[in-house]
Amino acid sequence: MPDLKIIRLTRRYGDQVALDRVTFEVADEEIMVVLGPSGSGKSTLLRLIAGLEPPDEGQILLNGQDLAGVPPHRRRIGLMFQEYALFPHLNVFENVAFGLRMQRLPEPEIRERVRTLLNQVGLSGYERREVHTLSGGEKQRVALARSLAPRPAILLLDEPLGSLDRALREQLMKEIRDLLKAERMTALYVTHDQSEAMAVADRVLILHRGRIEQIGPPEALYQDPATPFVARFLDLGTFLEGRVLAGGEIVEVQTPLGVLRGRPRGPVRPHDPALIMIRHTLRSVGTEPLNALAGEAIDLSFRGLHREVWLRVGGGQLRLILPASATSVRRGDRLSLAIPAEDVLIWPLGAS
Ligand code: ADP
């Protein structure tokens, strides 16, 4: 069964290290999403796996086989990119059939496979359509069917929804995940969009400057961000700097908002400078111990599904996310807050 092992994969461009000893595995039938900001090394990783360029160091094993020296077309790797890259001179049927014809499958098998896939992507009846007559979403569905048709061992998707508008992206995220699962496909899916990553992934790998910050299921990244970078990238909370007053399982820190108690996320000792995050969305309501804070609502904004409130607390500010139904809060209101220590994370300052 196809699984992918990436071992200490490294790629440099001149002095720039685009990928730095990256090690991870993708299990059979797993959808791994690689999430990171622009320039973090996501496309470089895909190009190395696809064999479009060689690594400087490290190994890529597919199904136990070392891919070093194996040319791209012999890797049994499927590719799907942001730009549609459909063959403009072929109709929908022939685009999807392309890889199957390369494999010289018998005509009835080709017809059956194309029919099944077009049905799965909701494009039955589109066989004879020219690709230039399709909408953006339809083109990406054809591209997906085409990349799945030859049953690659693993499918690599590079920002496949990047060129589509928001509503269509939302819809296609779910369709892609459903189809990958129906086809029992092992996949590596690159995006810079966190909500897309969470919607599609079994596990998410967060890349930053060519290194892995964290790998885990979406819930685990939200519950337990390993680094300040991950927490900031997922926009989990308000960050403050402070100083440690007392260590332990619950750490006490002096901050511009006052003294806070929270969970340590690294080695923090009394007197050390610390980086503190207070979750925007409080998760563990009622858990002891609580931080009692009082603040003034200085700004409010309605965001459709939720409402954001900026509070001035002591000498600092705090952003909280409330349900959209919380309409009673007005600018200038004074609010008392009880923030569970579980929702305050504390890193040593200097952690990335
Ligand atoms: P991402 O896909 O996450 O935006 P990339 O993999 O494209 O990131 O790039 C990672 C880093 O490597 C960037 O700093 C980029 O400038 C550099 N890089 C990528 N490809 C090349 C190349 N062909 N030549 C020089 N630098 C490159």
CATH of the domain at 198: 3.40.50.300
Query: Which pLDDT belongs to residue 43?
Result: 94
Least-confidence region, from 5-19, 162-176, 215-229: 162-176
Query: Which pLDDT belongs to residue 284?
Result: 64
- In the structure, how many helices (H) and strands (E) does the chain have? 8, 19
Ligand 1 atom having least distance to the Cα of 40: 3
User: Do residue 304 and residue 210 come from a single domain?
Assistant: no
Q: Is the CB of 39 under 6 A from ligand 1?
A: yes
Q: Is the CB of 18 under 6 A from ligand 1?
A: yes
Owning domain of residue 263: 236-348
User: Do residue 135 and residue 220 come from a single domain?
Assistant: yes
Query: Which pLDDT belongs to residue 305?
Result: 82
Closest CA to 298 of 280, 325, 285, 316: 316
Please tell me the total number of residues recorded for the chain in this structure: 352
User: Do residue 61 and residue 172 come from a single domain?
Assistant: yes
Q: How close is the Cα of 243 to the center of ligand 1, in Å?
A: 37
Q: Is the CB of 38 under 6 A from ligand 1?
A: yes
Which of the listed residues 181, 204, 229 is the one where a domain comes to its end?
229
3-state DSSP: the chain helix, strand, coil percent, rounded to 5?
Answer: 25, 40, 35
pLDDT tier for residue 307 given thresholds of 50, 70 and 90: confident
Percent of the chain exceeding pLDDT 70 equals: 97
Higher pLDDT, 187 or 281: 187
User: Do residue 137 and residue 217 come from a single domain?
Assistant: yes
Ligand 1 atom having least distance to the Cα of 210: 10
Radius of gyration of the chain (CA): 24
Residue 185 is which amino acid? M
Contact of 295 with 313, CB cutoff 8 Å: yes
Q: How close is the Cα of 183 to the center of ligand 1, in Å?
A: 32
Q: What are the pLDDT digits (tens) for 101-160?
A: 999 999 999 999 999 999 999 999 999 999 999 998 999 999 999 999 999 999 999 999
Q: How many CB atoms lie within 10 A of CB 344?
A: 22
- Read off the CATH number of the domain in which 310 is found: 2.40.50.100
State the maximum Cα–Cα separation within the chain, in Å, rounded to a whole number: 74
Ligand 1 atom having least distance to the Cα of 43: 2
Q: Does pLDDT of 352 surpass 60?
A: no
User: Do residue 215 and residue 244 come from a single domain?
Assistant: no
Which of the listed residues 229, 247, 274 is the one where a domain comes to its end?
229
For the chain, give the mean pLDDT. 92
Percent of the chain exceeding pLDDT 90 equals: 80
Ligand 1 atom having least distance to the Cα of 36: 3
pLDDT tier for residue 52 given thresholds of 50, 70 and 90: very high
Total domains, the chain:
2
Collapse the DSSP code of 247 into the 3-class scheme (helix H, G, I; strand E, B; otherwise coil) and give the result: coil
Q: Is the CB of 13 under 6 A from ligand 1?
A: yes
Which H helix or E strand runs over 99? helix 92-102
- The Cα 265–Cα 106 span in angstroms is 58
Nearest C-alpha to atom 16 of ligand 1 is from which residue? Answer: 39
User: Do residue 178 and residue 253 come from a single domain?
Assistant: no
User: Do residue 220 and residue 341 come from a single domain?
Assistant: no
Q: Does pLDDT of 351 surpass 70?
A: no
Residue 136 is which amino acid? G
User: Do residue 98 and residue 113 come from a single domain?
Assistant: yes
**pTM of the full structure:** 0.91
User: Do residue 160 and residue 224 come from a single domain?
Assistant: yes
Collapse the DSSP code of 7 into the 3-class scheme (helix H, G, I; strand E, B; otherwise coil) and give the result: strand
348 backbone φψ class: left, alpha, beta (φ>0; ψ -120 to 50): beta
Q: Is the CB of 16 under 6 A from ligand 1?
A: yes
User: Do residue 187 and residue 308 come from a single domain?
Assistant: no
User: Do residue 150 and residue 22 come from a single domain?
Assistant: yes
